[in-house]
Amino acid sequence: MLSPLQSDLATVVEGVNMVWVLTVTFLIFFMHAGFAMLEAGQVRSKNVANQLTKNLLTWSVGVIVFFLVGAAISTIVGGFTGGGEYSALGAFTDLYMPAEGAAGAWVNWLFGAVFAMTAATIVSGAVAGRAKLRAYITYTILLAAVIYPVVVGFTWAGGFLANLGFHDFAGGVIVHAMGGIAGLTAAWIIGPRMDRYNSDGSVNVIPGHSMTFAVLGTLILAFGWYGFNVGTAASPLAYSEADGVTLGSFAIVGRVALVTTLGMAAGAIGAGGVSMLKTGKVDTLYVANGVLAGLVGITSIADDIVWPGAIAVGLLAGAQLPVVFEFVEKRLKIDDVCAVFPVHGSAGVLGALLYPAFATGVWGGSASFVGLLVPQVVGVVAIAAWTFAATAVVFGAFRAAGEARVSREHEIEGLDATEHGVDTYPEFGGPENAVRVDGGIRMDGGAWTDAETTTSEERED
């Protein structure tokens, strides 16, 4: 029986913990502003409004679907695959009508929802510039309702991967690698943008319209990532009758904050260094995306590695970015516009698989390398296989129905005008005015004809 003082302390602890969870949840939500700027900066000016609309609708549609369906599906899948007790009906009713006194039910749901929407919005960057809005939104609905919740069910909701010992602290694989693999699959099925590849297989560079937006988006995402990683070290306080008020899982917050910071910094250095080795120049966009790759690489293991591991994982996650992007672009011939696979997919997988090399238990002698590696490999393979299969089925069906991508005419004109009826930059005389660039490719997506290959002086005349 709690005394009045003890009851007050328990209430205070619960209140502090809920305020903490809500605060970091709002911080993670703000990452959508970062995704919007990062992706808008990496697309052509004629497709900016389309990309911003996708980001807005990803949240608006996805979060409702995750509340109505997705969160309960994750509970059901977790119980079904993990051998635990669960009620299919109860999974829904416990969320819609939580028991009296269960003050944290909806707070915890919202914390899970912002993770779900992060996974969903990653996909939009891979298929930018040619995906039909209706196809993308339908996929977002299915991702929020089933595809992502199944992954959560396997892991955080107590499913078979959780029982196996798969370690993913804050979603390096569950959220980011899953989103990156989904984006790569969707981009492969939809096909590349017009004039991305020549008939001989060579690649044409199609630059984004604003490096400033891209870098601003990167820094907003990095800021929000502290909510992602440090926020997952939730429950600052704990209470028991025997010990009173003690520090909760917040005890690991120092380690998480440190390795998150070291990982992001090392990621930028790794990407910039490889870019320098490959081209003799430090590519700004590689450095920006290297920050994110370093963060993704560290996200699944930030709670349980020695700090030198954060630098190593960050450097490797950043260094693989230019290499994997070039492989996807030139070998696989997949047009991943915003590099979502090397930033989120391969970086997330890399971080998870490197966990045993830097785990505190291995370095302290209380865990074995192989014992930690096997669950990581199984988890990565299972999540990747499910994500690829589910995404391929959805976008494959849209492609078969002729609804996956916009028409050639709409792609040339730009999705801002054809899908939304707007011009993002009306003061500049229309999107992507036809100006010849290297390689003979028009910025409006068409190919120059002999009659159009005039000099700038002739055009002025």
Q: Percent of the chain scored above 90 by pLDDT?
A: 80
Note the pLDDT of residue 440: 39
- The pLDDT of 130-141, averaged and rounded, is 97
Lowest-confidence segment of 49-58, 88-97, 262-271, 387-396 by average pLDDT? 88-97
pTM as predicted: 0.90
Note the pLDDT of residue 420: 95
Average pLDDT of the chain to the nearest whole number: 91
Note the pLDDT of residue 141: 98
How far from chain centre, in Å, is Cα 109?
19
451 secondary structure, DSSP code: G
C-alpha dihedral, 410 to 411 to 417 to 423, nearest 10°:
-160
416-424, long-range: CB < 8 A, 24+ apart: 416/46, 416/47, 416/48, 416/49, 416/50, 417/46, 419/50, 419/53, 419/132, 419/133, 420/49, 420/50, 420/53, 422/49, 424/45, 424/46, 424/48, 424/49
Alpha-carbon span 95 to 103, nearest angstrom? 11
Where do the H-state alpha helices sit in 127-232?
133-142, 148-154, 160-164, 178-190, 211-232
Alpha-carbon span 357 to 259, nearest angstrom? 15
Q: Is the confidence at residue 111, as pLDDT, over 80?
A: yes
User: Predicted confidence band at 239 (pLDDT cuts at 50, 70, 90)?
Assistant: confident
- The pLDDT of 149-154, averaged and rounded, is 98
Note the pLDDT of residue 165: 97
Note the pLDDT of residue 101: 64
In one-letter notation, the amino acid at residue 39 is E
- The pLDDT of 283-308, averaged and rounded, is 97
Q: Which domains does the chain have, with CATH numbers?
A: 11-236+243-411 (1.10.3430.10)
Q: Residues near 279 by Cβ (< 8 Å), separated by ≥ 6?
A: none
User: Predicted confidence band at 7 (pLDDT cuts at 50, 70, 90)?
Assistant: low
- The pLDDT of 293-311, averaged and rounded, is 98
C-alpha dihedral, 417 to 220 to 168 to 156, nearest 10°:
-70
Of the candidates 204, 208, 246, 249, the residue with the CA atom closest to the CA atom of residue 231:
249
Q: Is the confidence at residue 124, as pLDDT, over 80?
A: yes
The neighbouring-strand residues paired with 131 are 405
Q: Is the confidence at residue 441, as pLDDT, over 50?
A: no
Of the candidates 213, 208, 206, 192, the residue with the CA atom closest to the CA atom of residue 43:
208
Alpha-carbon span 289 to 307, nearest angstrom? 22
Q: Is the confidence at residue 337, as pLDDT, over 70?
A: yes
Contact present, 72 and 95 (Cβ < 8 Å): yes
Residue with structure tokens 């890399």?
350
User: Predicted confidence band at 243 (pLDDT cuts at 50, 70, 90)?
Assistant: confident
Note the pLDDT of residue 233: 83
CA angle 344, 189, 72 (to 5 degrees): 60
Q: Is the confidence at residue 31, as pLDDT, over 60?
A: yes
Lowest-confidence segment of 122-136, 154-168, 188-202, 228-242 by average pLDDT? 228-242
- The pLDDT of 322-330, averaged and rounded, is 97
Q: Is the confidence at residue 406, as pLDDT, over 60?
A: yes
From the CB of residue 137, how many other CB atoms can be counted at a distance below 10 Å? 18
For 74, the token pair is 């994750």
- In terms of phi and psi (left: phi > 0; alpha: psi -120 to 50; beta: otherwise), the region of 282 is beta
The string of pLDDT tens digits covering residues 59-94 is 999 999 999 999 999 999 999 999 988 899 999 999
Residue with structure tokens 């390795």?
259
The string of pLDDT tens digits covering residues 348-401 is 999 999 999 999 999 999 999 999 999 999 999 999 999 999 999 999 999 999
